[in-house]
Structure formats: C-alpha cells, structure tokens
Amino acid sequence: MLWKVLLGTASAVAMMGVSTTAYAGNSQALLKRLHDKGILSDAEYNELLKEDAADAPAPAASAPVVAGDTAKFVRATDSGIGLQVGPATIKFSGSVNGFYVYDNAAKPGANTAVTGGIASVGGNTSAVRNGLLPGFLKVDATTTQNGWDVGAHFGMYPGINSAAWGTLGANNGGQPTALATAGIDFRETYLTIGRKGFGELKIGRAIGLFGSEAILNDITLLSSGPTGGNAAPANTTLGRIGTGYIYTDFQPQMTYTTPSMGGLQASVGVFQPLNSLTAGAQNNSSPGFQGKVTYDGAFDAVKLHLWASGITQEHKFVAGGSYTGQGLDMGARTTYGPVTLVGTYYTAKGLGTTVLNLFDTDAAGKPRSSEGYYVQAALTQGKFTLAGSYGASYLNYTDAADRAANPTLVRVNSSAVGQLRYGLNSWVTLIGEYINSNAKAHNGNSATSDAVALGGILFF
C-alpha cells in the first residue's frame, strides 16, 4: 500500500535529519504528523486514512481490562510452586523417591508358612524401588467465592516399578520385565468448602481418619520399612503397615472438620462401606463412619500432639447374617529440643490386620479381634537424624473351630527399624535403613527376614 511506502520513506527521512525528534505512535498518528508538516496534501491524507482503516485487523472480542480488575492478572504465589490466576490459586506439590533394597529372606520350609505374615520367604533379592510412599503429584486449585473458601484437589501417585494389573490396580504385585509400565494410583480427588468459624467440609476420595495419624507420624513413611515382597516390587513397600497399625487407606468420604479450638480439633465422616477381603460375598446397605480428635499444645519447651480415632461399619452377607467391624486408635508425639518420641496403640474387632478387612472374620462370619502398637524415637543434630522404632500387630482366633481350620494364621507380625537420615537441602533427604521383620503363626511356624535400604526422597 502507498501509505506503507510513505511511512517507510518518512522514517528514512527522519534518520537523515529532516526531523530529529523520535516519534512514537500508531500509523494514523504518523500520517497526521506527515500531513501537518506539509508532506501530505489533504486529499492524500484522507485517502491514506481510508486505506489504513481497511488494512487494520479487527479488534479482539474481549472485555476491557480496568484498573483493579484482578481477574485479568497472573502472578506467582507467595509460597510453594504455583501461580495466582485472578481470584484462584493453583499450586503444585509432590515427591519422588527411590531405594536400593537388599532383602535377606527366610529360606522356605514347612515351618515358615505363616498366612498373613509380613516377613519375606523364598530367597535373597535385590530391587530398585519405591519406599512406603510412591512418587506423587498433587494439584490444588483454591479460591474464595461469596465468603467461602473452596478448593479442588487432585493427587496422582505413580510408582517407579512396573505394575502387574489386577484386582488391586497399581497396588498389585510388580512385573519386573521389559516393556511393562508403571501404574498411576489416583488416590485423591476431592473438594473442600470452608470459612473462618465454620471449619471445613471435604467431599471426595482422600485419606481416611482411623489410623491416619499412626502412618503420618511413622518414620518409615520417608523410607522402606518391611518390603512386603522384594522379588517383584509393587507400587510401595509395607513400611510399618501391619506391624503397629492397620492401614488407613484413601477412601470415598464426606467429612467435616471443626475449627481449631485452643489446639483441639475434631473430624467426623461418612464413608463408602468396604467389603471384606476374606469373608463371604457382601451387600452392605449402611455406610461406614469414622472420627478423629487431635490436640496440639506446648508446655514450656515441650511440644505435644495427641490423637484418638475410631471406625465402625456394619457388614451384611449376601447369604444372610452380619457383623460389625470397629476399632479405636490413639497415640502421642512429643518433641523436646532435638528429641522426638512417638507412641501408638490400636484395638479392633472385625477389622482384621495389616489393611482394613483382611482376615477380619472366620469361615462362619464371626469377627476376629486384633490389636497393635509401635514406639519410636528420633534424635536430630544439624542435618543428621538418627531414628529407630519397634512395633507389632496381633490377630486372634474367634474359637476352637477357627483355630482348627486355620492353623497357620498369623498370630503376630513385628518389625524393628533403624534409620539414619541426612538433609542434603530443603528438597532432598538421603536415607539409610536396616529392617528386621518377623512373622509368627498360631501353630508355632515363624519366618524372619532382614533388609537394607539405601536411597533418597525429594519433596517440593
């Protein structure tokens, strides 16, 4: 177009000294400037304005950005990895870990058979695997709408080992062969609604209440603990699950948590009813219920964290009959300077052992009782932490008929863990660990295994 040539010519003229003033503006403003200087006649000026208007792109169909309109802003969050997008905050957090684990397993024999035992049997093995935690990536989108704090939360937990898919998804045994792939355990997807003075309502799939404090305060959460089988690594090791507490699990729920009242806080929830892993077919018409109470306080230099949690659920057999699974868990963590001590205890009936509803009844559908505990100590000096723990879980028969039908049923699983951690920086912790695991059956059978784990874990 002619006006584009003239603009280029005008720019060249300006560079040669016709105008020594730098001029900034759009093409119409520059045309006016040329007209005012007499370079363009009135007719030329008007004609070029028409051509300029015809060539100009159509304006984008969007609302104007006005002062104070924060819905159009994007900025980094004050902390964490994330960004502020108008009224919403999007944050990313996660973890990656890996350990070389050598497991010195018990040699198989008639006297090592323990049904439900956690000690490894079958020969020595090596693995490069996840610890008790798989890797995870969490995405949280939160905002305040009409005075309510609301959020959408998603948690993906991929292991580093290949999964052999089955009834338990990514939590089945591993498949250490070429061309296999790791599994994503999508543990979390829930929404939250809350406000000051109201507390918070959670709806979706998230960690349970019963037994949650036991695992969250366990030192093996950062490392390996008992392997649960090392020849074909699954998504995770056992950690102290089954040797001190029953695994809380991630469960569909609707849970309300009160505001903190002087350090005291309570949660209560309605949960998806779970079927037994070992009893007969079930058709459960009533939900499960869980609750938890925590207290945080400080007495001079001593910091104290106390908790108690409970669970109850009625189970109905398709063939008729029912039983109720219920349990109580309690514990404490105290910190004084560099020393942290933890102690927990649980008692249950109709919950089984290791995970919820495993070996929870006998063949007649009568609930078995169980209990367990662990004690733990940690000493931190600079970047080093030396820690150790011991725990056990017990499972009882219902009667003589149960004993006669299941002679190798586990009576007690126990483990001792020694751990050394080094905080390389705020993201990475290097860990070395020794684990002794024992399983004993009611008939006297037993198995013992020892493992060594070396690796690290990263959090962001």
Structural contact between residues 52 and 31, judged by C-beta atoms closer than 8 angstroms: yes
Cα–Cα distance measured from residue 438 to residue 300, given in angstroms and rounded to the nearest whole number:
40
Per DSSP (E only), the strands in 278-368 are 288-299, 302-316, 322-336, 339-349
Torsion on CA atoms 11, 15, 17, 21, rounded to nearest 10: 70
Classify residue 21 by its DSSP letter: S
Q: How confident is the model at residue 79 (pLDDT cuts 50, 70, 90)?
A: low
What are the distances in angstroms from CA 191 to CA 79, 113, 188, 253, 415?
A: 21, 45, 10, 11, 37
pLDDT in tens, 209-253: 999 999 999 999 999 999 998 998 988 999 999 999 999 999 999
User: Which of 33, 56, 48 is closest to 3 using CA atoms?
Assistant: 48
In this structure, what are the phi and psi dihedrals at residue 348, rounded to the nearest 5 degrees? -155, 160
pLDDT of 179 reads 84
pLDDT of 221 reads 97
pLDDT at 176 over 60: yes
> Is residue 219 helix, strand or coil?
helix
- 65: tokens are 């950005």
Q: How confident is the model at residue 24 (pLDDT cuts 50, 70, 90)?
A: very low
What are the distances in angstroms from CA 318 to CA 283, 286, 365?
A: 6, 14, 12
DSSP 181-212: -EEEEEEEEEEEEEETTTEEEEEEEEE-STTH
Structural contact between residues 177 and 159, judged by C-beta atoms closer than 8 angstroms: no
pLDDT in tens, 266-309: 999 999 999 999 998 899 999 999 999 999 999 999 999 999 99
In this structure, what are the phi and psi dihedrals at residue 80, rounded to the nearest 5 degrees? 75, -175
Q: How confident is the model at residue 417 (pLDDT cuts 50, 70, 90)?
A: very high
Express as a percent the part of the chain with pLDDT over 90: 71
